[in-house]
A and B are shown apart, each in its own frame.
Chain A
């Protein structure tokens, strides 16, 4: 028998509903330390909400989120701040600070939370800017002067600076050309394989999912309808996965809506 590993991150029976229909209906999902999980699923199925609940940005109606086996809801404000020191998050919309330049965005954590001197922080930001394939000439631009794909990569740079243990990427390659996208996929993969980070990514891009993921889970109607190793994506006969992978309009996903 394999030894029991405490998951790095676990959603336990998490439910959430806004004014409309149930968004999450008993979500159960876990990621082991040093693994990369990709969540796929139709638009509006609650993938982004699941991540924001894990980060404590949105309260769950019921259920728990455990980090290293500890319920984050029970953390004191101090512990919660320490929790965020170990986490990096790329928001779906980038969420860059539009009053700060690109490098100040990337270095925000270093300057404001870790109190690193600005010169040093800028040097670090420029390094990471290179990792996401942006030239140093964008460092002094403001987010509104960047294209959508560039903003995404700045958001990614801001998430990975300081090497957090747990990384969340909400659609990291959306809006990128195929070449840049594969470079970003490789970067995310490298964070997990070389630095031992735990990553949770959301993507609609199956090529990206195949590169990034150790494991893939499919969220549909508030629950996980399939979960398996990345290579099983093409061999499973799960009807949800088959329909999603083949991109057919008819099937269980259509029928459920």
Chain B
């Protein structure tokens, strides 16, 4: 298989012989097969890394200075991005639900639907995806650059465990801050819907709030916050993992950064579905 794949892919192998055709037709499957072996191996490595990182995060010693620094970098500095995303998402959602709902005279239910959509789904997911872009990338490139310039090795020789000093603070900060950011995104997102309802659709401001408030259940918000904590873990974990496994200088760091963003975004969406199906069974 390997040899024929080389024949097919070789740049100077000329036109492929007819005998190569069956292999060529099958090659997507071999590619998928090889890909899944690689994927399984890397899932194993990520799991081992996650176990070690969790142990560092949950047992002393904690570097509180580093944790504070990360709470600031991951949480506070993400406020504008998350806020902007939430307000536009809420506003657009309101318009869409209104027009969609008007087909069966359900436009009056718009505030409630926006509130559910934001708190259960879009608040946590949008905030997490923004952090995948902002935070996961920043973590991967910073740790990757430290790896490339032997700063991680140096830290070890200075009797300091990089899992405790670098990785645990980022994990803890992301798990703490993403639910808080999500809570904010919930409020701002519903605010975006309210703005559209009041300014564009001429709804009564008090009735909009009333409808939202009366209809929303605690669990709508809580389930979103639980999701957010899981997403926070994913964002920091993928940033740290890709950073610490970066190889080969600046190019390797660039690749690690891309990997961190892509893998955390995909994992966030997959985890979102899993958690939603778990929560909706209640």
Residues of A within 8 A of B (CB): 52, 55, 57, 81, 84-85, 87-89, 91, 93, 95-99, 108-109, 112-113, 158
Contact = CB atoms under 8 A, between A and B. Distances in A.
7 contacts: A84-B156, A84-B159, A93-B149, A95-B154, A97-B154, A99-B142, A112-B158
A56 to B, nearest CB: 8
Contacts of A113: 158-160
Contacts of A97: 146, 151, 154-155
B159 A95 contact: no
B63 A91 contact: no
Contacts of A87: 157
Given A112-B63, A112-B165, A95 B150 contact: yes
- By secondary structure, the B interface counts as helix
B151 A109 contact: no
Query: A-B pairs with the 6 shortest C-beta distances?
Result: A113-B159, A95-B154, A95-B150, A89-B157, A109-B158, A84-B159
B134 to A, nearest CB: 18
Contacts of B157: 55, 57, 84, 87-89
A112 B153 contact: no
B66 to A, nearest CB: 9
Nearest to B142: A99
- By secondary structure, the A interface counts as mixed
Nearest to A77: B161
A96 B145 CA distance: 12
A158 B149 CA distance: 16
A113 B159 CA distance: 6
A57 B63 CA distance: 23
Nearest to A99: B142
Contact of B150 (A81, A84, A93, A112): A93
A112 B153 CA distance: 15
A224 B156 CA distance: 28
A93 B148 CA distance: 11
Contacts of A88: 157
A95 B145 CA distance: 11
Contacts of B151: 95-98
A95 B158 contact: no
A166 to B, nearest CB: 11
A26 B153 CA distance: 24
Contact of A84 (B63, B142, B146, B158): B158
B153 A57 contact: yes
Nearest to B165: A112
A108 B150 contact: no
A108 B158 contact: yes
A97 B63 CA distance: 16
A50 B150 CA distance: 15
A158 B146 CA distance: 17
A109 B159 CA distance: 7
A124 B151 CA distance: 22
Contacts of A95: 149-151, 153-154
Contacts of A99: 142
Given A95-B149, A112-B63, A112-B165, A89 B154 contact: yes
Contacts of A85: 159
B36 to A, nearest CB: 25
B153 A52 contact: yes
Interface in B136-153: 142, 145-146, 149-151, 153
B215 to A, nearest CB: 47
Contacts of B142: 99
B69 to A, nearest CB: 9
Given A91-B153, A112-B160, A158-B158, 9 more contacts: A57-B156, A84-B156, A89-B157, A91-B154, A95-B151, A95-B153, A97-B146, A98-B151, A109-B158
B160 A109 contact: yes
A108 B160 contact: yes
A84 B161 CA distance: 11
Contacts of B159: 81, 84-85, 109, 112-113
B246 to A, nearest CB: 16
A52 B156 CA distance: 11
A86 to B, nearest CB: 9
Nearest to B153: A57
A91 B156 CA distance: 12
Nearest to A108: B158
Nearest to B159: A113
A80 to B, nearest CB: 9
A109 B160 CA distance: 7
B158 A91 contact: no
Nearest to A52: B153
